[in-house]
Amino acid sequence: MSGLKLRAAAAAAIVLAGMTISPATAATEPPRPAFYEAPANLPAGNGTVIRSEALSYLLDPAQANQVAFNSQRVLYTSTNRTGKRIAVSGTVMVPKSPWVGLGRRPVIGYAVGTQGMADKCAPSRQFSDGLEYEGLFIQGLLMRGYAIAMTDYEGLGTAGIHTYMDRVSQGRAVLDMVRAAEKLSGTGLSSLSPVGIQGYSQGGGAAAAAVELASTYAPDLKVKGASVGAVPADLLAVAKNLDGSMYAEFLFYATRGLSESYGINAKDAFNDAGDAVIDGVEGHCVFDLFSNSGKKFVDLTNSGQSAGQIYSQAPYTSIVQGQRLGDIKPTVPVLVTHSALDDVIPYAVGKAMAKRWCAKGANVYFSTNLNPTHLGGMLSTSTEMYAFFEARFAGVPQWSNCWTL
């Protein structure tokens, strides 16, 4: 096993270890640092830097860092799904060593996987404490000389509820984070920098949304390709799979986040026990996963209905349908990866999205792996993305395998 794979496996072990100590991580939400408070009047434009500060950064808990880089915490502007101008936080990392590849240093719009719902879960805060499970995967990109522009997403770190699984808000936050990185002084980045988009799980959904929206929402970005893994492209299918499972916590995140985004009282559908769960997840990070393992909608809803039934009727049916990915053609090459043994996001969901893109004439390479579990699938995605971006930034065309789907 290569060094990167070993470190990736170590990261996975750290995640699992963290998930076994959820009582310790479910502490009362600490006050939000002043940096994350938006000014009364936001500056014009999307991806405009509101403020930035140097970030003390522990890239991985094992302290196996092999690359020197500068990092800044950034507060920037974006536009959410409703059209409201908002402030979003994130992180920009740039290797200290000069770029030695072709052209300008590329920047990766890195969409993180599920972090949780509480402000304390924001990656720009988690990394400082060495608690961010994506750190070692990001290290592999930094080692290749790429800059990283990593959003915290709407309402994660900043004021308001995190709009978890909102396709448009997440995709725009990713794209505007790249814009902010290109405008940030001292990075060496510019509007001419080649751009890649990467994400897995929630991040896969955000990255897929970003590559679908890029040509219309951010045509100024020089996007060369996107690597998306385990994309939750069909929330109804995902909800049915999560209901009553070990990963039921994620379903409650989605219900709370989408309800907030669409102005619905999430508690209307739930009984007292369900209300307590919905309230509780607002203070949870992903390491609190097991606190709601095995919980079923039938036990928590007023109607006694399952998640699939609740998501198939008003007011949720149109909301869930609105988050579907694969209906807008990406204009750049896309690598889609998914484990056939994924226990969170069904393999068929990712494959169906790839087929929809293919039907629209997109350049798609769909890669199946057999790594057990959702977490295991992340390891294959992390290694495949390196070769994908190296080829795209070198100007090598992608061979599509749409004909095999």
Query: What pLDDT score does 16 carry?
Result: 37
- How many CB atoms sit inside 10 A of residue 219's CB? 10
CATH class label, 235-320: mainly alpha
Reading the block at residue 22, the tokens are 């959820």
Reported as a pLDDT band with limits 50, 70 and 90, residue 20 is very low
Please name the residues in contact with 286: beta carbons below 8 A apart, sequence gap of 6 or more: 15, 19, 114, 115, 116, 121, 133
Please list the residue range(s) of the chain that carry CATH number 1.10.260. 235-320
DSSP 8-state class, residue 104: S
Q: How far, in whole angstroms, is CA 390 from its chain's centroid?
A: 21
**Position 144: which residue type?**
R
Is the per-residue pLDDT at 32 higher than 60?
yes
To the nearest 10 degrees (0 to 180), the angle between helices 135-143 and 3-19 is 160
| CB contact at 8 A, 324 and 350 | no
Instruction: Please compute, for residue 85, the number of CA atoms within 13 A of its CA located in the half-sphere on the CB side.
Output: 15
- How many CB atoms sit inside 10 A of residue 161's CB? 16
User: What pTM, to 2 d.p., does this model score?
Assistant: 0.92
CA distance 232 to 110: 17
Is the per-residue pLDDT at 4 higher than 80?
no
CATH class label, 3-234+330-404: alpha beta
Please list the residue range(s) of the chain that carry CATH number 3.40.50.1820. 3-234+330-404
353-393 residue pLDDT tens: 999 999 999 999 999 999 999 999 998 888 899 999 999 99
Is the per-residue pLDDT at 18 higher than 60?
no
Nearest alpha carbon to residue 401 among 338, 327, 328, 334? 334
| CB contact at 8 A, 401 and 366 | yes
231-276 residue pLDDT tens: 999 999 999 999 999 999 999 999 999 999 999 999 999 999 999 9
CA distance 309 to 317: 9
